[in-house]
């Protein structure tokens, strides 16, 4: 295929006064309890653009120029997804591989992301106690998120403490509500950060 690929869906445009770009990455959002609820909690927040990656690029043919333009327009970037095999759903890896180009995101002349912040907002089936050196998963989440925090640093971005919802299998309605409120407050605070 030559030239820029056509978008399958209407492109996500930056929200008015765009500050925070939430890259939502869930392969089956219609079946999600947690991430769908978290994303819904952001509806109406000024300055926040929620971009559903599986909806935009279901065939994994990520439109690099579109994604780079979205990144350009925001100061803060959030990867929101369920924790899958101690990492992210596959499309986020594809997004990283394609969008963070040498000479744009890193390397000689690669300064596009410098000064922005990056964080993860993730949900885990495992309980908080399981993500400890002595716990079931043997590592803390911060340790397991090292590929993301290190990517941020390579691109000159500031890595922020991740937002985490633990123990999703046992989360009841009150827990979901609490998590959604906490997430909305965290993202709203990010909007106001320089
Ligand atoms: C393919 C797959 C891999 C998963 N890997 C992990 C994992 O490594 N650690 C963990 O705590 N939970 C894991 N889980 C559980 C999910 O993180 C959990 O179901 C999800 O966070 C719930 O969010 P949702 O309701 O938005 O789907 C996995 C689930 C699936 C389907």
Tell which one of 38, 80, 84 to mutate to probe ligand 1, the residue whose CB is within 8 A of the most ligand atoms. 84
Tokens 């340790």 identify what position?
A: 143
pLDDT tens for the chain, 194 residues: list them: 445 555 556 678 998 889 999 999 999 999 999 999 999 999 999 999 999 999 999 999 999 999 999 999 999 999 999 999 999 999 999 999 999 999 999 999 999 999 999 999 999 999 999 999 999 999 999 999 999 999 999 999 999 999 999 999 999 999 999 999 999 999 999 999 98
Query: What residue's CA is closest to ligand 1, atom 1?
Result: 84
Query: Is the CB of 83 within 6 Å of ligand 1?
Result: yes
Distance 87 CA to ligand 1 centre (A): 10
- Pairing state of beta strands 158-159 and 76-82? unpaired
The domain locations on the chain are 20-191
pLDDT score of 1: 43
Pocket test for ligand 1, best of 52, 128, 144, 168 (most atoms within 8 A of CB): 168
Ligand 1 centre and the CA of 48: distance in Å?
25
Q: Which two tokens stand for residue 135?
A: 């716990």
- Joined together, the tokens standing for residue 40 give 């819904």
Establish whether residue 80 lines the binding site of ligand 1, counting it when its CB lies within 6 angstroms of any ligand atom.
no
| Whether residue 126 has its Cβ less than 6 Å from ligand 1 | yes
- CATH number 3.60.15.10 is the correct assignment for the domain at 20-191: no
Q: Is the CB of 32 under 6 A from ligand 1?
A: yes
Cα separation values, 28 from 43, 91, 137, 159, 170, Å: 19, 12, 25, 27, 20
């Amino acid at each position: 295929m030559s030239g820029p690929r056509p978008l399958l869906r209407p492109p996500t445009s930056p929200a008015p006064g765009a500050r925070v770009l939430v890259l939502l990455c869930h392969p089956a959002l219609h079946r999600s309890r947690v991430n769908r609820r978290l994303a819904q909690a952001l509806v109406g927040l000024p300055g926040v653009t929620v971009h559903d990656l599986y909806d935009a690029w279901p065939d994994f043919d990520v439109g690099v120029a579109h994604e780079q333009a979205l990144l350009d327009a925001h100061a803060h970037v959030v990867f929101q997804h369920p924790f899958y095999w101690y990492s992210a759903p596959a499309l986020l890896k594809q997004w990283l591989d394609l969008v963070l180009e040498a000479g744009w995101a890193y390397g000689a002349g690669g300064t596009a992301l410098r000064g922005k912040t990056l964080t993860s907002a993730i949900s885990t089936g495992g309980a908080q106690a399981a993500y400890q050196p002595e716990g079931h998963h043997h590592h803390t989440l911060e340790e397991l998120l090292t590929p993301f925090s290190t990517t941020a640093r390579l691109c000159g971005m500031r890595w922020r403490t991740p937002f985490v919802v633990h123990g999703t299998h046992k989360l009841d309605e009150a827990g979901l509500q609490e998590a959604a409120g906490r997430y909305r407050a965290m993202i709203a605070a990010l909007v106001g950060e320089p």
